[in-house]
Structure 1
Amino acid sequence: MTTSPVTGTALSAADRYGTTEAQRDLAARTRAIAEEHFAPRSLEWEETGAFPEPNLRLLADAGILGTAVPVEYGGSGGSWLDSAVVLEEIGRTCYVTAMATLGELGVQSRAIAAFGSDELKADLLPRIARGEVVCSICITEADSGSDVGSIVTRAVPVDGGYRITGGKALISRLDVVDIMLVCTRFGTGEGRGVSDVGFIVVERDRPGVEVSDGHQTLGGERLFALTLTDVFVPERNVLVGAGGFKKMINAFNGQRCMNASISIGIAQGALDAAKARATERRQFGKPIADFQGLRWMLADCAIEIEAARALVHRAAWNGGKQFPNRYDAAVAKVFANEMSLRVTDRVLQIFGGHGFLRDLPAERYLRWARYGGLGGGTPQLLRDGIATELYRERPATS
Structure 2
Amino acid sequence: MDFSLTDDQRQLQEMARKFATTELVDLAKELEEKNTPVPSDWMKRYGELGFLGMNIATEYGGMGVGNIEALLVLEEFVKISAAVAFPVFESSVGPVRALEHFATPALKERIIPAVCRGEKIVAVCMSEPAAGSALTDLKTRATKTDGEYIVSGQKRWCSGGGHADGYVVYSRMSDAPGAKGIGAIFVEKGMEGLSFGEPEQLMGFRGVPSADIFFDDVKAPLENEIVPAGGFGKLMEAFDLERCGNATMCLGIAQAAFDYALEYAQEREQFGKAIIDFQAIQIKLADMAMKLEASRLLIHRAAQQANDGLPSVRDSSLAKCFANEISREVCGIALQVMGAYGYSKSYGMEQRLRDSWGWGIAGGTIDIQKVNIAASYAGRRFNQRG
- Fold-level similarity (TM above 0.5): yes
Q: Alignment partner for residue 380 of structure 1, among 348, 364, 367?
A: 367
Q: Is the 8 A contact 2:173 2:229 kept in 1?
A: yes
- Match in the other structure for 1:19: 5
CA RMSD across the alignment? 1.4
Q: Alignment partner for residue 204 of structure 1, among 160, 181, 189?
A: 189
Q: How big is the shift at 1:55?
A: 3.9
Return the alpha-carbon distance in structure 2 between the equivalents of residues 309 and 55 of structure 1.
Answer: 28
Q: Alignment partner for residue 224 of structure 2, among 230, 237, 242?
A: 237
| 275-284 or 18-27: bigger deviation | 18-27
> 3-state SS of the aligned residue for 1:194?
helix
Write the deviation string for residues 231-278 of structure 1: whole angstroms up to 9, x where unpaired.
Answer: 111111000010111101111110100000010000110011111111
Return the alpha-carbon distance in structure 1 between the equivalents of residues 259 and 44 of structure 2.
Answer: 27
Task: Report how many aligned residue pairs link the two structures.
Answer: 377
> Does residue 1:105 correspond to 2:72, yes or no?
no
Which runs of structure 2 are paired with 1:16-95 in the superposition (5 Å)? 17-53=3-39, 54-95=41-82
Q: Is the 8 A contact 1:81 1:320 kept in 2?
A: no
Q: Is the 8 A contact 2:52 2:87 kept in 1?
A: no
- State the identity %: 33
Q: Would the alpha carbon gap of residues 55 and 36 (structure 1) be closer, same or farther in structure 2, given more than 3 Å must change?
A: farther
Return the alpha-carbon distance in structure 2 between the equivalents of residues 364 and 102 of structure 1.
Answer: 19
Return the alpha-carbon distance in structure 1 between the equivalents of residues 354 and 45 of structure 2.
Answer: 26
Return the alpha-carbon distance in structure 2 between the equivalents of residues 101 and 48 of structure 1.
Answer: 20
> Any unmatched runs of 5+ in structure 1?
1-12, 394-398
- Match in the other structure for 1:129: 116
Q: How big is the shift at 1:125?
A: 1.5
Amino acid at match of 1:33: F
Q: How big is the shift at 1:319?
A: 1.3
> 3-state SS of the aligned residue for 2:153?
strand
TM-score by length of structure 2 reads 0.94
Q: Alignment partner for residue 163 of structure 1, among 150, 155, 174?
A: 150
Return the alpha-carbon distance in structure 2 between the equivalents of residues 320 and 29 of structure 1.
Answer: 24
Q: How big is the shift at 1:211?
A: 1.2
Return the alpha-carbon distance in structure 1 between the equivalents of residues 316 and 14 of structure 2.
Answer: 25
Q: Is the 8 A contact 1:142 1:168 kept in 2?
A: yes
> Does residue 1:177 correspond to 2:154, yes or no?
no
- Match in the other structure for 1:223: 210
Q: How big is the shift at 1:372?
A: 1.4
Return the alpha-carbon distance in structure 2 between the equivalents of residues 256 and 135 of structure 1.
Answer: 17
Q: Is the 8 A contact 1:37 1:55 kept in 2?
A: no
Amino acid at match of 2:5: T
TM-score by length of structure 1 reads 0.92
- Match in the other structure for 1:149: 136
Q: Is the 8 A contact 2:321 2:369 kept in 1?
A: yes
Q: How big is the shift at 1:83?
A: 1.7
Write the deviation string for residues 71-128 of structure 1: whole angstroms up to 9, x where unpaired.
Answer: 1112111222122111111111111122343211113221111101111111111111
| 196-205 or 40-49: bigger deviation | 40-49
Amino acid at match of 1:173: G
- Match in the other structure for 1:348: 335
Q: Would the alpha carbon gap of residues 84 and 212 (structure 1) be closer, same or farther in structure 2, given more than 3 Å must change?
A: same
Return the alpha-carbon distance in structure 1 between the equivalents of residues 68 and 90 of structure 2.
Answer: 15
Q: Alignment partner for residue 313 of structure 1, among 280, 300, 304?
A: 300
> 3-state SS of the aligned residue for 2:143?
strand
Return the alpha-carbon distance in structure 2 between the equivalents of residues 79 and 66 of structure 1.
Answer: 11
> 3-state SS of the aligned residue for 2:339?
helix
Return the alpha-carbon distance in structure 2 between the equivalents of residues 224 and 145 of structure 1.
Answer: 15
Q: Is the 8 A contact 1:55 1:97 kept in 2?
A: no
- Match in the other structure for 1:7: none
Return the alpha-carbon distance in structure 2 between the equivalents of residues 51 and 378 of structure 1.
Answer: 24
Q: Is the 8 A contact 2:172 2:229 kept in 1?
A: yes
Q: Alignment partner for residue 344 of structure 2, among 334, 353, 357?
A: 357
Return the alpha-carbon distance in structure 2 between the equivalents of residues 375 and 22 of structure 1.
Answer: 32
> 3-state SS of the aligned residue for 1:380?
helix
> 3-state SS of the aligned residue for 1:248?
helix
Return the alpha-carbon distance in structure 1 between the equivalents of residues 277 and 92 of structure 2.
Answer: 41
> 3-state SS of the aligned residue for 2:183?
strand
Write the deviation string for residues 208-247 of structure 1: whole angstroms up to 9, x where unpaired.
Answer: 0001120122221331010001111111100001011110
Q: Would the alpha carbon gap of residues 392 and 192 (structure 1) be closer, same or farther in structure 2, given more than 3 Å must change?
A: closer
Amino acid at match of 1:146: S
Q: How big is the shift at 1:354?
A: 1.7
> Does residue 1:253 correspond to 2:240, yes or no?
yes
> Any unmatched runs of 5+ in structure 2?
381-386
Q: Alignment partner for residue 312 of structure 2, among 309, 325, 336?
A: 325
Write the deviation string for residues 139-165 of structure 1: whole angstroms up to 9, x where unpaired.
Answer: 111111011111110011112121010
Amino acid at match of 2:198: D
Return the alpha-carbon distance in structure 2 between the equivalents of residues 99 and 218 of structure 1.
Answer: 17
| 259-268 or 150-159: bigger deviation | 150-159
Q: How big is the shift at 1:291?
A: 1.2
